[in-house]
Amino acid sequence: MIRFDKVSKTFKRARVLDGIDLDIDLGERVALIGSNGAGKTTLIRCLLGEYTHDGRVTIDGRQPREERARVLAEIGFVPQLPPPLKMPVGQLIGFAAGLCGTDPQKILDLARRLGLDIGPIVDRQFVRLSGGMKQKLLIAIALGRDARVLVMDEPAANLDPEARKIFFELLAERAESATMLISSHRLNEVSALVNRVVELDMGRVVLDDRVADDVSLTGMLDCRISVKRPEPALAKALSAWRFADLGGGLEWQGQVAGPDRLRFLGMTSRYVALISDLKMTETDR
Partner 1 sequence: MKHLWLTAKLDIVESLRARWFQIYTLVFGGIVALLFLFGLTESRVLGFIGLSRLLVTYIQLTMAILPIFVLITTVRSVAGDREAGVYEYLLSLPVSLSAWFWGKITGRYLVIFLPVFAAMVAAVLIALVRGIEVPWGMFGYYTALLAAMCVCFLGIGMLVSAVARSTDVAQGAAFLVWLTLLLFLDLILLGVMIQGKIAPETAVAVALANPLQVFRTAALSLFDPQLIVLGPSAFVILDTFGTTGYQAFALAYPTLIGTICAGTGYLLFRKGDLP
Q: Which residues bind partner 1 (CB under 8 A)?
A: 45, 48-52, 68-73, 75, 77, 79, 81-88, 91, 95-96, 98-100, 125, 138, 151
The bridge status of strand 29-33 relative to strand 196-201 is: parallel
Minimum distance of partner 1 from residue 141's CB (angstroms): 9
Minimum distance of partner 1 from residue 95's CB (angstroms): 5
Which residue, 185 or 224, is less far from partner 1 as judged by CB? 185
Which residue, 86 or 236, is less far from partner 1 as judged by CB? 86
Minimum distance of partner 1 from residue 161's CB (angstroms): 26
For residue 129, give every residue at least 6 positions away whose Cβ sits within 8 Å of its Cβ, in sequence order, or none: 89, 121, 137
Which residue, 49 or 219, is less far from partner 1 as judged by CB? 49
CA atoms within 13 A on the CB side of 277: 8
Read off φ and ψ for residue 131, nearest 5 degrees: -55, -45
Which residue, 27 or 82, is less far from partner 1 as judged by CB? 82
The bridge status of strand 251-257 relative to strand 220-227 is: antiparallel
Which residue, 110 or 217, is less far from partner 1 as judged by CB? 110
Minimum distance of partner 1 from residue 9's CB (angstroms): 9
Torsion of CA 101, 105, 110, 112, to 10 degrees: 160
Minimum distance of partner 1 from residue 139's CB (angstroms): 13
For residue 119, give every residue at least 6 positions away whose Cβ sits within 8 Å of its Cβ, in sequence order, or none: none
User: How many Å apart are CA 130 and CA 140, to the nearest integer?
Assistant: 15
